[in-house]
Amino acid sequence: MVGWIRNNKTWTIAIVLIFMFAFYLRADFLTSVKHTVSHDTKYYDEMVHRLLDKGIYGYKEEVSNARVTPGYPLFMTGVYLIADAIHVEPYPLIRWIQALISVASLALIYAIAMLATRNKWVAMLSIIIGAIYHPFIWSTGAVLTETLALFFLMAYLAMQLYAFRTERKRDAAFAGVLLGLTVLVRAEFLPIFVPLYGVFLLQRWFSRRTDLMDTRKSKWAIFKKVALLGIITGLCLSATMLPWWIRNVVTLNEFVLTASQSNPFKAGTYPNKDYTDKIVVQNGMSQNEYAWARIKAGFSQQTWKYVKWYTVGKLEYTYNRMFFGSGHQPGYTVYPKGHNVHQFIVYGSLIPLLLLIWRWRHPAVMLAVVIIIMSLIRLVFVPEYRYNFTVMPLFIILSSWLGVFLLQKIKTSIGRGKIAQPMK
C-alpha cells in the first residue's frame, strides 16, 4: 500500500483533496443551517432514553418490542453516552460523526468502482460526484438510519466483490459479518447475498477463461466451492444477527427475523398512495389477508391502474426524487438544479444497466443485480423516495462509467481527426 502511494503521488493527493473537500461541504452544511428534527428522530430519542433509564428496548411504546432493528438505536445510545461523558448535546455529535462516516463511505465507493469496473477514472469520477451529491450531504444532518446504512452496505458490497475475486473463505466470512451489520441497520438488504452468489455461480460455470486449471474443474466442483463460500457468508450473517434473535425470543417470546414494524406490504397496495381507496372493505381481516384481497380486487377490477402502479408507478415514486434528509433551513446547495442532476444520474445509469444484462460475465454486473433485486423488493412494498438513498452510489458508479466511456470515445475521435488532417 505504501509503495503504491509513493508510485502514485499525484493520484493520491487528488483523492485526499476530494475527501477534504467532501468533509468541508458536510461541515459547512452542518454549521450553516438549522436542522429539522423529524418524528422518527424524536421516537428514536425517546427510545434511547427509555433504554438508558429503564433498560427497555421499545420503539414508540413503554414496553419491550422489536419494531425497529437495533443497529441505529444502539449507535445513538453509544453516542449519547459519549456526549454525556464530555458534556455536549447528542444531536450535534451524531451529525459530526455521520459527516465522518459519509466521507469514509466515499472510500468504499472508490473501492467498489475499482473492483467492479477496473477503471481508476470511473472510481475517481464516482467519488467526485459522491462528494457533492446533495442527499449525501443533507443526510449527515438527519438523525436517521440513512448515512450509517449506506456505509455498511458499501462496506459489504466492497468486501463481497473482493471475496468473489479472491474466493477465500475468510473474505466471504467478513462479507457475511458486514451484511449482518447492514441488516441490523436496514433490514431490507437481508436476502441480497443469495442472488449475488447465484450470479457468481453462473459466471464461474460459464467463464471464458482459458486457464487450464480452470477448465479442468467440473461444474460440480465449482458449485461446491461457490456454495461453500455462500454458506460461510450466510452463517456469518446469521451469527451477527443471532444476539438480536435471542433477545427477541427471550424478551418477547417470539422469533422476529428483523423487525415487526407496521405492515408496508398492505400500505403498498394503495395506487399513488391514495389511502382513501376502499376497493375492499377489511371486515376483520388481518393486514396480510386485507392486502392480498386488495391486490386481487385491484388487478381484476382496475387492471391497468394496478399494473401501472406495481411497475413504473412504484419505481417512479422510489427513484424520481432525491432524499432530502430530515429538512433544514435555509436551503443548502452546492450546484443549481439538484433534482435534474439526480435524474441525470439515475437515467444515465440505465444504458450501462441494460448492457450489463447482456455482458453478465463482467464483475460490474453485481451492481446491476443489487439495483434490480432491491427494485423488485420495492415493488412489493410501499414506495418512498428515501429508499433510493442507499443504492444511489451504484447508480453514480454506473453513470460515471458511461461518462468516462463517452469522454474516452470523444478523445479518441478528436485524436484521429488531428492525425488525419495532415494527410489530406
pLDDT digits (tens, 9 = 90+) for 123-142: 999 999 999 999 999 999 99
Q: How many CA atoms lie within 13 A of 158 on its CB side?
A: 20
Please give the Cα distance from 153 to 28 (Å, whole number). Answer: 26
Give the burial string for 255-283 (b: 16+ CB within 10 Å, else e): ebebbeeebebbbbbbbeeeeeeebbeee
Nearest to 170 by CA among 108, 241, 229, 234: 229
DSSP code, position 273: G
The per-residue pLDDT for range 167-211, each reduced to its tens digit, is 999 999 999 999 999 999 999 999 999 999 999 999 999 987 654
> Can you give the pLDDT at residue 212?
47
The 3-class secondary structure across 298-339, one letter per residue, is HHHHCHHHHHHHHHHHHHHHHHCCCCCCCCEECCCCCCCCHH
For residue 330, is the peptide bond before it cis, meaning its omega torsion is within 30 degrees of 0? yes
| Residue 333 within a domain | yes
Listed as ranges, residues in the chain with pLDDT below 50 are 211-212
What's the CA gap between 192 and 370, in Å, rounded?
7
Q: Which of 140, 134, 100 lies closest to 323, judged by CA? A: 134
Is-above-0.75 flag for pTM? yes
| Residue 62, domain member (yes or no) | yes
Q: Is residue 51 part of a domain?
A: yes
Q: Which residue shows C-alpha cell 371486515?
A: 283
Number of structural domains, the chain?
1
Structural domain containing residue 256 = 2-261+302-423
Q: Greatest CA separation found in the chain? A: 86
Q: Is 361 inside any structural domain?
A: yes
What pLDDT score was predicted for residue 9? Answer: 86
Q: Using one digit for the tens of pLDDT, what is the confidence trace for 357-399? A: 889 999 999 999 999 999 999 998 888 999 999 999 999 999 9
- Quote the CA–CA distance of 247 and 250 in Å, as a whole number: 5
Residue 281 domain-assigned (yes or no): no
Q: Is residue 289 part of a domain?
A: no
Count of beta carbons in the 10 Å neighbourhood of residue 376: 10
